[in-house]
Structure 1
Amino acid sequence: MRRDQLEGAVREALSHQVAVTRPLAADPAGQAIRRANRIRRRRAGTGVALGVVATVLIGAGMTHLSGGTDQQGPPIVVIGDPDLSARPLPTASVGAPSPTPDAPNGLLLAGALIDADGKRLSLPGVGPAERAHRLPNDQGLLVVGAPTTAGRSLWVAQDDGLVQVLLAGAGQIVLAPDATQVAWRDGGDLLVAGVVGTQLIGSVRIAVPDSAQPVRFVGNSVLVRLDPNRPGHALWRPGADELTAVPEQDTLNVYGSLPDGRLVGQVPANSVAGTCLALLDPKRATKAARTACGTQLSPDGLGGMSDDGRWLLVNGRVGAAERSLLVDLARLGTTLDAVPAGPAVSGAIAWTSGSDVSYVDNSGQLVRVDVRRVRAGEQAEPIPVAGLEPGDRPVLVSGS
């Protein structure tokens, strides 16, 4: 072979090698792309499955809570994922401490929670409130809305500002003392459900008269006032098909229960005008077991008892003035001996110990009552609430 032929053959072989693109022994980019595609397909399948399961569970919960009613219209129980857009940014939701008076469990004021140290946490979505109760284990608050033309609402507000609607369009709403149960009026029915996290579970219902309203929990039963304009109560144990008959239809208000189960309530005086304080036996259909008279109690029913059942703070009349009165239930006899404690109560009260109680008066100021001082003749004075604007109504947070 001539030299020029050999050179031509070498050039042709080299040109063929350059023209043919050979795959790399290792292709990291291709491997990454293929791996990403596999992950995307796997995540898509998992997301669809979770979506189906969540839809089934939420649908089942809605059916369970709203089932059993023959009423028309949308269900008032709302269950679902909380609105994450309602979670405030920490830098925007927590304000600097302000000179708020000492309220151990805090105050609700103008859509914000003000704790005992004066820090403010915005609670977007929570409307005008009537009551607020702290959930067990510091999991947040249950907030009962003020009555509106659309009914009442119930919110759970977590300590980071996340707000979830539990009820909307309800009638009267009452909470158990430990905030683990809620009772409410829905059309012609009375319902009770447990509170777990941000949901209501295990609801049961009973048909009640049009004028009947839940008042409070008594153990595992619900005390029902049959007519707000007339005396008389009944007891309903959830799961029972009827209200417990009350032969004596004269109970005006009930303030709480003693450790032995007896209720402390208000009844009309028999021989003179006015009202008396009575111990009622729920085992005998709330029949009065003892009655103490002599001090005019207010018919508004506002008041509450200490956790140990020793003290009762209740509204009453001293001369021509409406005042809050302190009653020693351990010394309750035939004569009601009540000591003036401070301005009249305007809403919920919060006992923080066996000897301290707080409430908001009619002017929207905070009142802190020390039992020892009141018994020594020193009445409590209202303390202005920082940031209170005309028309605002602070709500004292109860519970612990």
Structure 2
Amino acid sequence: MSALPGQSDNLTDGPRRSYQVPPDELEGAVRETLSHQVALARPLGVDPAGQAIRRANRIRRRRTAAGLAVAAVVTVLLSAGMAQLGAETGRDGAPIVVIGDPDPSGRPMPTASVPGAVPSPAPSLAALGSEILVNADGRRLVLSDVGPAERAQLLPGGGGWLVVSTQKTAGRSLWMVQNDGLVQVLLAGAGPIVLAPDSRQVAWRDGGDLLVAGVVGGQLIGAARTAAPAGAVPVRFVGDSVLVRPDPADAGHTLWRPAAGPLTGAVEQKTLNFYGGLPDGRLVGQISTGTGRTCLAALDPTRLNPVETGCGPQLSQDGAGEISADGRWLLVNGLVGKARQALLIDLRRLGSNPTAVSAGPPITGAVVWTDESHAAYLDPAGELVRVDVGRVRAGIPASPAAVSGVPAGDRPILVAGF
């Protein structure tokens, strides 16, 4: 088939298409293509934001689980009556409690170093100086993440210590130091801090209030607070109650029972210091007679009234002293003639003007009884004094011995354990 004259089709020659593209048009086409590719959102092989969100969700779930576990413990403790801290004792304002992170995987683990011999697993006497624990055998444990300490006490089960810092400009801190080296801050910026004998409760001053809380799982739980007079400080625990001194410059104490409500205004006006309790529940303290002389007294633990008094020994008023676990012996500071000494007093003779014998140089800090007839303390030079009741009664006072491994200028404090 042939084309008509003057016409063309796809089989015949006709006007040809030009393939010549000017450079400016080509450049424009390339730019347009690239702009479309940039505007197009393509999936990434790795999604950092998604990974961060998923990791945060996992951490939140772990923390929620830890919180639920703590809440369960609180419920058990409250139902058992350990710390029935009613809502009526609370006041507005959050306490200065710093809760330990239940997920420690994101922070470095502090470590403990043990120069010299490995400590014996059996509990023994120890001294804590700034960052050093030293036991009676001379073995040392260095806690690199704990600052200068004022007091330390074993955790239940011997898994570590509660450590109270010295007074600083911002206040005191309370640390929990575990045997594996982990250090957690339980309190920061607090006023005076006292620990229950079993380390399961802590009381402290925060501004114008006194607070008490339980120590469970590395956290402070069930905190209750009460308004307190200016200057009032917690002194020690008496069961679940807190012995409070309203004015450290004057005689007198009162008891705060958190489960019963706020701190009352009733103050016993004679007591100066307390040294512990007797097996029958009575407290032993130092009272003022109003004549410039002080006496020992056994006091009712509910009203703090003296029920038995002994005025033989001449006691110091610094408050240093402690009763043996069986309630028979009191190691306390006093005077022998004009010399300041540690005195050993037999409390079985409390009501018949007890006599005192010199036990060694004066006490500074805590007294630790290792059993019914052996105690230890530090003298003013920071040296360790170990008292044997039998030898002291035989007229042989204890002599101090230097604590090895403590840097010059450090003042160790005694704790039982490690």
Deviation sequence 1:312-371 (CA, Å, 0-9, x none): 111111112111111111121241311111111100111110001111111000000011
Task: Trace 1:73-222 onto structure 2 (pairs within 5 A).
Answer: 75-81=96-102, 84-88=107-111, 93-97=113-117, 104-222=124-242
Residue in structure 1 matched with residue 296 of structure 2 by the alignment: 277
The alpha-carbon deviation at position 70 of structure 1 amounts to 3.6
Runs of 5+ consecutive residues of structure 2 not aligned to the other structure: 1-44, 75-84
Aligned-pair CA distance for 1:246? 4.1
Contact 1:182 1:192 in 2 (8 A): yes
* Separation in 1, partners of 2:52, 2:109: 28
Q: Note closer, same or farther for the CA distance 1:383–1:117 as it changes in structure 2 (3 Å cut).
A: closer
Q: CA RMSD in A?
A: 3.2
Offset at residue 238 of structure 1 (A): 1.6
1-structure distance, mates of 2:368, 2:186: 24
1:396 aligns with 414
Residue matched to 2:317: 299
* Letter matched to residue 371 of structure 2: S
- SS, match of residue 299 in structure 2: strand
Structure 1 segment 377-388 matched on structure 2, within 5 A: 377-388=395-406
Q: Which amino acid aligns with 1:262?
A: R
CA displacement at 1:108 relative to structure 2: 1.5
Matched to 2:227, the amino acid is A
Measure, in 1, the Cα distance between the counterparts of 2:272 and 2:174. Answer: 27
Q: 2:283 corresponds to which residue?
A: 263
* Conserved? CA contact 1:221–1:235, under 8 Å: yes
**What is the aligned counterpart of 2:367 among 332, 342, 349?**
349
1:297-336 equivalences in 2 (<5 Å): 297-336=315-354
Deviations 1:257-310 (A, max 9, x none): 11111110101125x432100111023x10111111122111111111111111
Identity %: 55
Given that residues 153 and 170 in structure 1 are in contact (C-alpha distance below 8 angstroms), is that contact kept between their aligned partners in structure 2? yes
2:60 to 52, 55, 74: 52
Q: Could you tell me which residue of structure 2 aligns to residue 371 of structure 1?
A: 389
Match of 2:307 in 1: 289
- Within 2, Cα distance between the matches of 1:105 and 1:163? 22
CA distance in 2, matches of 1:105, 1:391: 21
Question: Residues 269 and 293 of structure 1 are in contact (CA less than 8 Å); yes or no, is this contact kept in structure 2?
Answer: no
Q: Letter of the aligned partner of 2:100 in structure 1?
A: I
The separation in 1 between residues aligned to 2:331 and 2:55, in whole angstroms, is 56
Tell me: CA distance 1:194–1:118, structure 2 relative to 1, closer, same or farther (3 Å).
Answer: same
Determine helix, strand or coil for the equivalent of 2:157: helix
1:362 corresponds to which of 364, 368, 380 = 380
Query: Residue 114 of structure 2 aligns to which amino acid in structure 1?
Result: V
Q: TM-score, normalised by structure 1?
A: 0.80
Alpha-carbon separation, structure 2, partners of 1:399 and 1:111? 16
- Whether the 8 Å contact between 1:277 and 1:336 is mirrored in structure 2 is no
When residues 395 and 210 of structure 1 are mapped into structure 2, their CA distance, relative to the original with a 3 A threshold, is same
Whole-Å separation in 2 of the counterparts to 1:124 and 1:225 = 35
Secondary structure of 2:387's aligned partner: strand
Preserved CA contact (<8 Å) 1:179 1:195: yes
Report the more deviating stretch, 388-397 or 220-229: 388-397
Rounded to whole Å, the distance in 2 between the matches of 1:332 and 1:226 is 27
The 8 Å contact of residues 254 and 267 in structure 2, kept in 1 or not, is answered as no
Contact 1:98 1:118 in 2 (8 A): no
Structure 1 residue 86: Cα displacement: 4.5
In 2, are the aligned partners of 1:178 and 1:399 still within 8 Å (CA)? Answer: no
> Which residue number in structure 1 is paired with residue 3 of structure 2?
none
- 1:251 and 2:271 matched: yes
Q: Distance in 2 between matches of 1:209 and 1:325?
A: 34
Q: Structure 1 residues 110, 253: CA separation in 2 closer, same or farther (over 3 Å shift)? A: closer
Q: How many residues align?
A: 352
**1:332 is paired with a residue of what secondary structure?**
helix
- SS of the equivalent of 2:367 reads strand
Bigger Rg over Cα: 2
Give the drift of 1:384: 0.7
Task: Give the AA of the match of 2:334.
Answer: G
- For 1:214, what is the secondary structure of its paired residue? strand
CA drift at 1:136: 1.6
TM-aligned CA deviation for residue 199 of structure 1:
1.3
Structure 1: unaligned runs, 5 residues or longer: 1-36
DSSP 3-state at the match of 1:282: coil
Change (3 A) 1:240 1:50: farther
CA contact (8 A) 1:71 1:187 kept: no
In the aligned structure 1, how far is the partner of 2:53 from the partner of 2:98? 32
